């Protein structure tokens, strides 16, 4: 009898080549079609590359870094052999095409993501994020309801200091499973499912609330900076998004308590487990203390951006990482950074910005936005109805994407073009775009919807059905809360 693992390997052996073939076929078919009226040759080719990229991202026929290199090569060649937008009588040339393909690497958002990955690595190297999580659980106690609240609070606290959703989930999930095991329950118990799913969902909730909590937020900021020549500061984002995340955190607590009923309402001995693990960590090291000081200072600089000082988030984060790498006063060395940081993530991030920028500069994003949304008659609808329709569209599209960063790369350029076509939006429609970025951060429905979900799912603590049982009400609640905030709080702030 064939094992599930063998069946999965057999499936993967033919799915990846077939998916890659579909991506190539989509690219070729779009390229050989006549260039639509109102779209430039370069824009037509950019859309072909977009179709190729989306199929690769959705099917994961190749890894994300490999897809990024393929996209760079295609953009360089296809744009290089297209007419130069500034001189239609001449070809842009592959050098010009490669410059456009690498344009995302010059974005300040890429610098922020690189520094954020290094900051998350510092937390992992010193174990500070785990110590913070244990202290929160020590206060939470042993009652199941308190532990659920504690898992949410940990996600809130770590979101301020650890700009990596996967790292935040990785800090708390093993601790929660350790407490379940100490009580004698298996890792696939209802209690384990309740705690681990809560931790993963709380990470998604606070990806919305804090600008630096997730890389996909930086994608949106990068496009806003490049296309609209403005930015959204850390305190602005926090003012707009944190209240939504705070309300969602309360809803998360009650939804989780109702969706999964644990076997026990108390983990006797749970506090001892936490104390034991804290004891194993020992007293705070000098590196941890220095990291606390740098992190608190960094948070203060983020929170006062644009008010007390004019230093942007990217600059202060890069400086903070530089300080952490200094001998004696730092917290780790470059070899540690090389080992802990996934540099492929940075390449994918930068190439996503490059592709989106090409879609915007060639007019492809505007054309695609018009064709996609004009049939809905959005320009004639009230703004709240437009937000409702587009947000529903974003949630459905997210079902096919395992990476919110890739989803932002594909959709934010289209949303920017849409916002500029809608009448009466303030500040070039920045608020509309940012609201859609909030929705892109939704990773509530399936384990494959976000990396932190997959990390949690990999523990075997819950089934896809259990996750979906919590994900459906959370998605509905988040969607309705977006509409409520759009009609009230965000409207009062002038965001829409």
How far apart CA 453 and CA 169 sit, in angstroms, is 8
pLDDT of 5:
44
How far apart CA 349 and CA 108 sit, in angstroms, is 12
Predicted TM-score (pTM) of this structure: 0.84
| 401 Cβ contact list (under 8 Å, min separation 6) | 57, 58, 407, 410, 449
How far apart CA 47 and CA 355 sit, in angstroms, is 10
CA geometry: angle 457, 197, 398, nearest 5 deg:
70
How far apart CA 343 and CA 356 sit, in angstroms, is 20
pLDDT of 188:
80
How far apart CA 120 and CA 135 sit, in angstroms, is 19
Whole-number Cα distances in Å, 416 to 200, 235, 370, 490 = 30, 22, 12, 18
pLDDT of 74:
95
Q: Are 252 and 201 in contact (CB under 8 A)?
A: yes
Q: Are 78 and 97 in contact (CB under 8 A)?
A: yes
Checking DSSP bridges between strand 87-91 and strand 83-84, what pairing results, if any? antiparallel
Burial category of 481 from C-beta neighbours within 10 Å (exposed 0-12, middle 13-18, buried 19 and up): middle
How far apart CA 17 and CA 25 sit, in angstroms, is 12
Query: How many other CB atoms are there within 10 angstroms of residue 207's CB atom?
Result: 27
How far apart CA 162 and CA 119 sit, in angstroms, is 7
pLDDT of 13:
65
Q: What ranges in 362-496 are assigned the alpha helix state H?
A: 364-373, 383-398, 404-421, 430-440, 451-457, 464-487, 489-492
How far apart CA 146 and CA 55 sit, in angstroms, is 43
Whole-number Cα distances in Å, 59 to 19, 172, 399, 403 = 6, 29, 12, 11
Q: Which residues of the chain have pLDDT under 50?
A: 1-8, 10-11
- pLDDT tens digits, one per residue of 387-440: 999 999 999 888 877 778 888 888 899 899 888 888 878 888 899 999 999 999
H/E element, 87 = strand 87-91
pLDDT of 236:
94
Whole-number Cα distances in Å, 94 to 40, 69, 71, 84, 319 = 18, 15, 14, 11, 35
pLDDT of 331:
92
- pLDDT tens digits, one per residue of 312-358: 888 999 999 999 999 888 899 999 988 888 888 888 888 988 998 89
């Amino acid at each position: 009898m064939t094992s599930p693992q063998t069946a999965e390997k057999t499936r993967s052996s033919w799915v990846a080549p077939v998916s890659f073939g579909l991506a190539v076929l989509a690219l070729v078919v779009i390229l050989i079609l006549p260039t639509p009226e109102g779209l430039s040759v370069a824009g037509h080719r950019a859309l072909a590359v977009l179709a190729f990229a989306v199929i690769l991202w959705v099917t994961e026929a190749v890894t994300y870094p490999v897809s990024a290199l393929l996209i760079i090569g295609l953009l360089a060649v296809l744009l290089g052999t297209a007419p130069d937008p500034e001189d239609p009588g001449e070809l842009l040339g592959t050098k010009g095409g490669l410059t456009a393909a690498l344009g995302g690497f010059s974005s300040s958002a890429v610098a922020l993501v690189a520094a954020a990955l290094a900051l998350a690595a510092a937390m992992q190297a010193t174990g500070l994020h785990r110590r913070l999580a244990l202290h929160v659980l020590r206060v939470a106690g042993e009652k199941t309801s308190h532990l659920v609240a504690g898992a949410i609070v940990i996600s809130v606290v770590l979101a301020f200091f650890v700009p990596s959703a996967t790292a935040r989930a990785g800090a708390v999930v093993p601790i929660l499973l350790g407490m379940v095991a100490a009580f004698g329950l298996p890792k696939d118990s209802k209690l384990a499912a309740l705690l681990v799913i809560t931790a993963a969902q709380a990470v998604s909730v606070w990806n919305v609330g804090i600008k630096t909590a997730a890389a996909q937020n930086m994608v949106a900021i990068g496009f806003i900076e490049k296309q609209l020549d403005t930015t959204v500061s850390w305190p602005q984002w926090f003012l707009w998004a944190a209240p939504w995340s705070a309300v969602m955190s309360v809803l998360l607590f009650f939804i989780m308590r109702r969706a999964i009923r644990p076997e026990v309402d108390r983990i006797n001995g749970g506090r001892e487990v936490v104390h034991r693990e804290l004891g194993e960590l020992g007293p705070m090291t000098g590196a941890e203390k220095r990291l606390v000081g740098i992190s608190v200072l960094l948070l203060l600089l983020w929170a006062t951006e644009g008010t007390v000082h004019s230093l942007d988030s990217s600059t202060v984060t890069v400086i903070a990482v530089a300080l952490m790498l200094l001998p004696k006063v730092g917290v780790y060395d470059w070899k540690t950074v090389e080992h802990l940081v996934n540099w492929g993530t940075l390449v994918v991030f930068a190439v996503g910005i490059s592709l989106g920028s090409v879609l915007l500069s060639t007019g492809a994003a505007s054309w695609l936005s018009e064709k996609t949304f004009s049939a809905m008659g959005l320009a004639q609808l009230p703004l709240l109805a437009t937000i409702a329709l587009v947000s529903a569209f974003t949630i459905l599209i997210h079902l096919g994407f395992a990476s919110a960063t890739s989803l932002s790369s594909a959709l934010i350029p289209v949303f920017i073009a849409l916002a500029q076509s809608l009448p009466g939006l303030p500040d070039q429609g920045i608020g509309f775009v940012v609201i859609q970025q909030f929705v892109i951060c939704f990773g509530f429905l399936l384990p494959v919807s976000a990396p932190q979900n997959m990390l949690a799912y990999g523990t075997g603590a819950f089934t896809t059905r259990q996750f979906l049982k919590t994900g459906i009400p959370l998605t509905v609640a988040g969607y309705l809360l977006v509409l409520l905030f759009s009609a009230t709080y965000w409207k009062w702030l002038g965001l829409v």
